[in-house]
Homo-oligomer: A and B are copies of this chain.
Amino acid sequence: MNETVTSTLPVQDARIYPRGGLDVLSRTEVARLRDASSGGMHDLLRRCALAVLTSGSANDDPRAARDLYPNFDIQVAQQDRGVRIDLKGAPAMAFVDGEIIRGVAELLFAVVRDLAWTAIELGPEYATDLESSSGITDAVFGVLRNARVLRPADPNLVVCWGGHSISREEYIYTKQVGYELGLRGLDICTGCGPGAMKGPMKGATIAHAKQRKRTNRYIGITEPGIIAAESPNPIVNELVIMPDIEKRLEAFVRLAHGIIVFPGGVGTAEEILYLLGILLREENADLPFPLILTGPTIAAPYFEQIDRFLRLTLGEAATSRYEIVIGDPAAVAKKMTAGIRKVRAARLEHKDSFYFNWGIDIPLAFQQPFEPTHQAMAALDLHHGRPPSALAADLRRAFSGIVAGNVKEDGIRQIEANGPFEIHGAPDMMQALDGLLRAFVEQRRMKIAGHYRPCYRVVA
């Protein structure tokens, strides 16, 4: 191992021999993996690997990392005995006295493992059925099983959602909730970045140590686009890279024994609508699924606004599916523990597995991406009287499109070119939507340049 000098930050070359999951491969599999990693997958692999190798650095932005380690490269080489990972110009911070830090190496193997699985098993040649709803669910299951995340243990996995850039007060609150969850023996799964994705894990770590809990799971579920922008936080000890955003969301829902939503940006609001769209389905009516929206006192307005909006649009009945708790971490953990007990009983009753929620119905529309074109936006149907589940799905899409039209480069350009989106919706519902967005802007949870100006108009 010798140091190269082209970069200003210390770097290192290394050869790593994988363990666990990548260590028992057939020669054919090794060859395919080598081909995939040197072919179309290579750039993706390089970016994801760099994100993992800079995990825990002061600077959370892996894009900056790419500038700091311009000569970094990764190759997967074949050996009779299996695979070898060759790193060049890798960040020295991932090493101790020339040896890669074991936890970092595990995350690196996870990157190779999941990208390879996706490239090989879900690739065009080895065509798994990705058109049907059950085919997509099988693909989600396949990635998770291959990542050894599915384990037949008692239900105790809490998925935590929320923003990656939240206020210090909100961040401390997520730690406190994590601490209370950890004291009660619960494990944590998040999107694996900073902010609300890191706080609950950090709090749980301390609680798990105090409770002398030995096997702790801090599962991070990401996807190539996200990990390239957000390094996994260093607490994550099981990392899964799902093929895309929709499969990542499905993985969260099917793995979770309960979900906690912390304050976040507009993305978090969108996730709430996604989840309610599923939970309000007739098919899932009898399924217990603890869902708690929580934050410190300063976050109360955020959740009040969302709550008001949900009541107005989806009706009072929708509120039966979630609970809002403000400023009480212990209460959150107690409610979650009670909720998971019900989940456990229901899984046993329906003979469903503990480790994968086969029973919950996620229709194809939720499994496929929504592209917010003018045409797609015009096709939305935001009127009272529709089934709440269908309405929630369309609200989420409307939401997604409006956000794009306001803050995403591509969306703004579309609006400039074709004028505002035309949305068919009930006026009161549209007003509520507008109110919600304005509030987010005021609370600086949606960052726009200048004043907020709606990018749509309502068509009666």
A350 contacts partner chain B, Cβ-Cβ < 8 Å = yes
Query: For chain A, what secondary structure do more than half of its interface residues adopt (helix, strand, loop), or is it mixed?
Result: loop
Which of chain A's residues 259-306 have a Cβ closer than 8 Å to chain B? none
The answer, yes or no, to whether A145 is at the interface (CB within 8 Å) is yes
Interface centre among A103, A134, A145 (most CB of B within 10 A): A103
- Check if A212 is an interface residue, CB within 8 A of chain B: yes
Complex CA–CA separation, A358 to B334 (angstroms):
41
- Check B351–A80 contact: CB distance below 8 A: yes
Chain B residues contacting A237 (CB-CB under 8 Å) are 209, 212
- Segment of A23-31, A44-52, A108-116, A400-408 in the binding face: A23-31
Instruction: Kindly supply a per-residue 1/0 record for chain A positions 100-126, scoring 1 wherever the CB is within 8 Å of any chain B CB and 0 otherwise.
Output: 011110100000000000000000000
The answer on a CB contact under 8 Å between A183 and B24 is: no
Separation of A28 and B337 alpha carbons in the complex (Å): 32
**A19 close to chain B: CB less than 8 A:** yes
- Whether a CB of chain B sits under 8 angstroms from the CB of A371 is no
When chains A and B are docked, how far (Å) is the Cα of A437 from the Cα of B210?
Answer: 40
Query: Does A205 count as interface, using CB distance less than 8 angstroms?
Result: yes
How far is it, in angstroms, between the C-alpha of A27 and the C-alpha of B234 when the chains are bound?
34
- Tell me, yes or no, whether A252 is within 8 Å of chain B by CB: no
When distances are taken between beta carbons in the complex, the residues of chain B under 8 Å from A205 are 205, 209
A351 to B101, alpha carbons, bound, how many Å? 23
Distance in Å from the Cβ of A128 to the closest Cβ of chain B?
A: 10
CA distance A79 to B180 in the complex (A): 34
8 A Cβ contacts from A1-39 to B: 19, 23-24, 26-28
Nearest-CB residue, chain B, relative to A334:
B97
B102 touches A211 (CB 8 A): yes
Beta-carbon contact of A212 and B23 below 8 Å: no
Give A27 to B334 CA distance when docked, in angstroms. 33
A332-361: which residues lie under 8 A (CB-CB) from chain B?
Answer: 334, 337, 347, 350-355, 358-359
- Residues on B with beta carbons closer than 8 Å to the beta carbon of A19: 152
B80 touches A183 (CB 8 A): no
Given contacts A104-B210, A205-B209, contact A359 B28 (CB under 8 A): no
Q: Please measure, in the bound complex, the distance between the C-alpha atom of A23 and the C-alpha atom of B150, giving whole angstroms.
A: 10
Q: Within the complex, what minimum Cβ distance (angstroms) separates A100 from chain B?
A: 10
A353-B27 Cα distance, complex, nearest whole Å:
11
Docked-complex contact B80 and A352, CB < 8 angstroms: yes
Interface residues on A, range: 35 or more
Asked if B27 contacts A134 (CB within 8 A), the reply is: yes
Q: How far is the CA of A194 from the CA of B187 in the complex (A)?
A: 28
Counting CB contacts under 8 A, is A138 at the interface? yes
Q: Which of B103, B145, B347 contacts A24 (CB 8 A)?
A: B145
Q: Is the CB of B211 within 8 A of A81?
A: no
Residue of B nearest to A350 (CB): B80
Give min CB distance, A152 to chain B, whole Å.
5
Tell me the minimal C-beta distance from A24 to chain B in angstroms. 5
Q: Is the CB–CB distance between A183 and B347 below 8 Å? A: no
Contact B150 A106, beta carbon cutoff 8 Å? no
Contacts of A171 in B (CB 8 A): none
Give A434 Cβ to nearest chain B Cβ, in Å: 43
Selected from B56, B80, B101, B141, the residue in CB contact (under 8 A) with A26 is B141
Q: Closest Cβ of chain B: how far from A330's Cβ, in Å?
A: 8
Assembly CA distance A235 to B205 (angstroms): 11
Q: Are the CB atoms of A184 and B97 closer together than 8 Å?
A: yes
Q: How far is the CA of A151 from the CA of B21 in the complex (A)?
A: 11
A138 interface neighbour in B28, B212, B352, Cβ under 8 Å: B28
Give the complex CA separation of A212 and B183 in angstroms: 21
Give the CA-CA distance A150 to B21 in the complex, in Å.
Answer: 12
Q: A24-B145, A152-B24 are in contact. Are A81 and B206 (CB under 8 A)?
A: no
A420 at the interface (CB under 8 A from B): no
Residues of B with C-beta under 8 A to A24: 145, 150-152, 353, 355
Can you give 5 A-B contacts (C-beta < 8 A)?
Answer: A96-B211, A97-B337, A103-B209, A210-B234, A214-B214
Given contacts A81-B352, A97-B334, A205-B205, 9 further A-B contacts (CB under 8 A): A24-B145, A26-B141, A28-B134, A80-B358, A96-B180, A97-B337, A103-B211, A106-B212, A209-B237
9 smallest A-B Cβ distances: which pairs?
Answer: A103-B210, A81-B353, A79-B351, A96-B183, A81-B351, A80-B352, A102-B212, A24-B150, A102-B211
